[in-house]
Chain A
Amino acid sequence: MTGNPQATNKAQQDGQSLDAIDRQIIVATQSGLPLVAEPFAALAEQLGLGSDEVLQRVADMQACGIIRRIAAVPNHYALGYTVNGMSVWNVSDENITELGRLIGSLDYVSHCYQRPRHLPLWPYNLFAMVHGRSSVDVVARVSTIANLLGEHCRGHEVLYSKRILKKTGLRIKA
């Protein structure tokens, strides 16, 4: 499963494409989808809407990128992926799209982005969160990325997290 930048861009161009019913559906499913054989019918009943309408709206929101996908979010720690490092890379701007796609396609990389540099303190423009079962794992995977980037990479660092200071899900208000 890969992200869909085209769909995201389309939704961004459309701007605020959410109406009141879309918002109702989002608020009702932020903490999860009902775990029943027909979840969209259950959702429709809960919201006083037709199940066909709910299905259509969810399909439309997915088509335009408001919903990335309907999926399970694993708990990294419970699955043994206890170490994550934010790897940051200084690569040439001309090649970054091609390189970002390459690194973003790796199984153990999440949240791969181009972000702005802040010179001289921060020369890095490509961010890739690397997950592993141990720090040895993460170090090995970071060196794989370094090899893949080869001469396009002018420097990199890995920032390990020491402490979670706050973690709340994204929430929109009803």
Chain B
Amino acid sequence: MDSIDAAIVNRLQEGLPVCARPFDAVAATLGISVDELLSRLQRLLDDKVLTRFGPMFNAESMGGALSLCAMQVPADRYDEVAGQVNAFPEVAHNYEREHLLNMWFVIATEQPQQAGIVISQIEQATGCRVYDMPKQQEFYIGLKLAV
């Protein structure tokens, strides 16, 4: 990664304008051609410096639901329960964390009422109580990683 790559990563974490040629202004700011910007962007994606480039969607605005859930899973059943939880397609992310509540996962459903159903199914499958923590207010989404 050179300084131009770094500038691209920094600039493209902010929004791109929605217009016919959205890369023109960005390329001009960086002092490179649109072709060079696009080929560098492709390489940053190929090298997995960037995981994605495109519209960032808001699941709730599409009518769906998203919730963060936590469980207290006994150590001797941890991997078994992880497998049971991960088997639900509605579970988008799942992390092991160091806490009494040691399993944290995100449930994403297209219909808001599905979330509660999935939570009951997970409780039935695992025998563990699910602590549902849907967001009540959002203050910021995104991260400005300076490179």
Contacts and interface: CB of A to CB of B under 8 A. Distances in A.
B41 A131 contact: no
Interface residues of B, number: 78
A114 B136 contact: yes
B32 interface: no
A35 B41 contact: yes
B145 to A, nearest CB: 5
Given A31-B54, A165-B82, A69 B14 contact: yes
B63 interface: yes
Given A67-B56, A70-B55, A165 B140 contact: no
Interface stretch (A36-44, A139-147, A148-156): A36-44
B75 interface: no
A71 B16 contact: yes
B49 A75 contact: yes
B99 A159 contact: yes
A105 B56 contact: no
B68 interface: yes
A32 B145 CA distance: 20
Nearest to B38: A35
B82 to A, nearest CB: 5
Contact of B38 (A37, A41, A55, A112): A37
B103 A160 contact: no
Nearest to A125: B136
A79 interface: yes
Decide if the interface of chain A is mainly helix, strand, loop or mixed. mixed
B117 interface: no
A69 B15 contact: yes
Interface string A58-98: 11011011111111111110111100001000000000110
B86 A165 contact: yes
Given A72-B52, A113-B135, A165-B82, A79 B13 contact: no
Interface of B: 8-9, 12-16, 18-24, 34-35, 38, 41-42, 44-45, 47-64, 66, 68, 70, 82, 85-86, 91-101, 103-105, 108, 110, 131-147
Given A71-B13, A73-B50, 15 more contacts: A1-B13, A2-B140, A3-B138, A36-B38, A40-B20, A41-B20, A58-B55, A67-B55, A74-B49, A75-B48, A97-B137, A115-B133, A121-B100, A165-B96, A165-B105
Interface of A: 1-3, 5, 8, 11-12, 15-18, 26, 29-33, 35-41, 51, 55, 58-59, 61-62, 64-76, 78-81, 86, 96-97, 100-101, 103-105, 107-116, 118, 121-122, 127, 131, 157, 159-170, 172-173
7 contacts: A1-B142, A26-B57, A71-B56, A81-B145, A96-B137, A115-B68, A170-B108
